[in-house]
Amino acid sequence: MRLLPAHAPFTMPSRLPTTLLLGCALALTACASSALTAELNHSPEASSAVEQTVDFEQWLAGFRQRALTQGVDQDIIQQATRELSPDPAVIRADQHQPEFSRPVWEYLEGALSTIRINNGQLLLQEHADLLTAIEQRYGVDRHILVAIWGLESNFGGNMGNRKVVRSLATLAHQGRRPEFAETQLLAALTILQRGDISVDAMVGSWAGAMGQTQFIPTTYNSHAVDFDGNGKRDIWSSKADALASAANYLQASNWQSGQPWGFETRLPEDFDYAKADLNQRRSLAEWREAGLYLPERYNSLEADSTAAILLPAGHRGPAFLVFDNFHSILRYNSSTSYALAIGLLSERLQGRGEIQASWPTQDQPLSREQRHELQQILTDYGFEPGEVDGILGANTRAAIRRFQQEHQLPADGYANLKLLQLLRKL
């Protein structure tokens, strides 16, 4: 079967976490986008590039010795690091993240493209037997798996072409999180030592995410599986291994078989938007009592099932009621935009999932400088957003809510240019 040509890669919204991944834009396909990679790219703990005290050859000599003490064979170390040199493109990617985040509605437009949906539907038919076997083994819905496959690597068509060992060595020597990168590099060597893949075939993104489902090495070691039974865990060329590995990861992330990821809802006019927080889970019975609309197709859900409200564009945009499985997807990639795209793409593959509410497309995304300014003003006036780092995470959203409540505004925790302009007037 021939797939339709895919669109050119587009950038990922980053909800600079919390998952590896992901408040500024990254290339969607074959990118370091998974929560599996989010720690490296967008951890709040990440700092600017470390000041180098040794050159690459000196660092590499030390690393080889450390790898030996960790039980990696001398032959593997030499084979993997022979004639190794830093990759300047990896350094540029790590140190120069894009200035703007894409609005969620623009990101979804690309993630939910007609071509991606059509290709996914073809692959669902072609691999129906495989997907049935994976569902039976791991309890993860096939449409979710195919959606992840499509967004992570364009269904295996774009897994990245950088040598993983070289990328991780570059980051371990001169990246924002050298210790994390070295941990991944050691894990990559253990993969080579087991013989699952060769050095030359171990390719991936600039940040070391690998294969059709973009695992970083430590996640590969803990969750990759040999589903096709050939003795190797091959997430590069084996669709069975790649999809089953993703299912295994989601199962380990508390995936609930038979439960939806979530669905669009409608909020009553007098709704208290401070309750629209992923950390505030309530039962369906409580949400019904609060006046939320639930589609009829979900009437069979248990009344005590817990869910939270997601407002990806604030109170003027669509609202979603999301369940435990949404949080499992966030373990894969900590961007709420990514998790929403996976959920909606899984629905579109089944001929539904169209969003009914309108997006506030007139909103302008904040630049990095403006995000810093917003956090600094919140700090100066005692709203406690945490570190002034340009990352609009949970602490900043809580601070925004405190400001909004104090000024009788809808407390949705949503940051946009209008909010910054209000803060400037304090």
pLDDT in tens, 408-424: 999 999 999 999 999 99
pLDDT range class, residue 45, cuts 50, 70, 90: very low
For residue 203, pLDDT over 90 is answered with yes
CATH label of the domain that carries residue 91:
1.10.8.350
Determine the pLDDT at residue 299. 85
For the chain, what percent of residues have pLDDT higher than 90? 79
Task: Note the pLDDT tens digit of each residue in 278-317.
Answer: 999 999 999 999 999 988 888 889 889 999 999 999 999 9
Closest listed residue to residue 175, CA positions, set 234, 89, 112? 89
| Pair (85, 185) in one structural domain | yes
| Pair (292, 400) in one structural domain | no
**Cα end-to-end distance, the chain, whole Å:** 61
CA distance 16 to 42: 5
Q: How many domains does the chain have?
A: 3
Name the domain boundary from 207, 226, 253. 253
Strand order of the sheet with strand 282-283?
Answer: 262-265, 319-322, 306-310, 282-283
| Pair (204, 268) in one structural domain | no
In a domain, 123, yes or no: no
Domain that holds residue 374: 368-424
| Pair (225, 82) in one structural domain | yes
Taking CA atoms, 373 is separated from 53, 309, 390, 394, 419, in Å, by: 33, 28, 8, 17, 11
Global pTM value = 0.87
Name the domain boundary from 235, 253, 271. 253
